[in-house]
Structure 1
């Protein structure tokens, strides 16, 4: 098979990373996107502790690669999502990214468990038997901590990723067609200089542009349809999760070129994120949101609050069997709105707080995902950029007693944008 295009020619990797992260946040599935050779083009989202530990062994790592390769090849062969069991006993899926029959890569997801009946219906991914980790208490504990779901939900996740991949490819192919058409129009103007032909070509370009504007509605129509089907089947929690995830994606896609939003919009995005986490974690997560009505219309940088809430979930709630609490408040005092994100987790050492805010934190040295702290550092930099060096993030934390993040947002001109709010 001859590959004419690279996956990076077809899909905007930054947008794909945002969608991938939102998908992992909503479902709890680990996710990454690879090219046709199996090389990652995005960063891992929600990689499990179990799989991280398993891959420390060279032989196990080779089995992991074989399982992933099998999933990608099977999805490329069929042109449809492939769901299988890895050698470590977890369920994975591969969603192919295809253009005109050519396999460009795949979205790999999973690292979850399902019930025994569901496991019997799945093939073993390219390995003859499961690796026995029963003699390793640490691995067994990490395995027991991995997310448990149903085969039906795995199929739904695979179908959703397949829809998203097709949508992104379709959108970019239209963009490529528009660029080709535009270049032909320029050549036509230079060589022929016939007004009538130029006008006809521009009308065609206008039509393509209109189609490109309409196509983004396709994805949300699909999500809404799934939500309505869930309602008809009396699956209320599934319906709630679909609509919350749909709103999160709509927020991400609409705001990808917009740096400034209202605090109300940002908090609504966080509310959707927490409602999905609540469905996933159940009684382990207790959260509350209280924002002064007068503070809701203050303007703030896009994705200012969400990184801190996500950090609280990942480090204050997830690691503890009993879970914990997250409280978000927003209060206006004169020309300043103060947003607080408070958790009752294990807290952060003072020396780590400084490193996180300065961008010098090494998460891998602390045994954390390499993306840990990036969103926090970015939010701190953007606040200083928009409001001046005296503003930014303040983190108060005491080891063993929890963490409080304070974000001060002034009602004044944003220096980086020149917008008077």
Structure 2
């Protein structure tokens, strides 16, 4: 998205004010700098008594503003200083401040008289008639006292301001370009660092650790539940639980040499995990899994969804005596698959979300293991698809958490898989 520059982004107002004051002291001309809307961004320098008196009348003041606006527009059109006669009969000038052809504002100066013959060579800066001050001795006296100079000197003053304005703009633009290059270098270094970290984590030992990262606490609960079921009831539920657990182990082990699965395979793994948790937690856990059939054959990194579902069970369902609900959905939006894992738990503080995603969150026991799983999944997604395809976590305290994972429909071939 293109960011519009403001004049204050390009020129230091304090420096400009000092230059403007010095210019007015040296030339006797009044001066002020305005933005592209005509709003002053500096204080007036050497404003004439005549103009102050004229502007006491609101109608005359509006005419003055229109005259200034006209001068600024004319200078913007030509890209050069504009010299004109205001409705008060004085000579003014407008010096445009331009960046790459875009008009950001202008330095307005003038409020002087010149020879009548030279005045006739200048355009009017307004459609309003000149002020008739013949019946107002006070205004006529102030007009007569207004500084008189030559058109040559006015043009020289305009050229001086134009040179100064261009210098200030060019100097700052060089600084902005250098800063942009510096930021791009930092982004490139960060991307190289990320790639290096992910590639290191995908070495055989790290990958096996990732594939075997089903929580020890979860394994203990599974075995304990199987034992209780075998003792207290028939074999049906026990058999169902064992089959689900066996499928999970088979899914984990068979991917030792292949890091890519279809979304259908990943969701079946999640279904097995949830069915086991359902048997353990009973009515405390409700879950819903909805996957667009068109998305089932899309490839994704192994263990993309399960760490987030596990996190929802541990932090949203287990601590709540009444339990809760986990919803997993997958839908295609144009060329992107949107995966969402949502719960209605107690939520996650914003500061903890940032730490979980960047891998700096530390806690005791299984919380720490879950955080590692989420951080690994996030890093792998950014490695395979780019930094625009990481994990987004939205959470509201006491209302729940929603994880969004974006996966492009393009093939994962060529990413070291």
TM-score (norm 2): 0.45
Q: Which has the larger radius of gyration?
A: 2
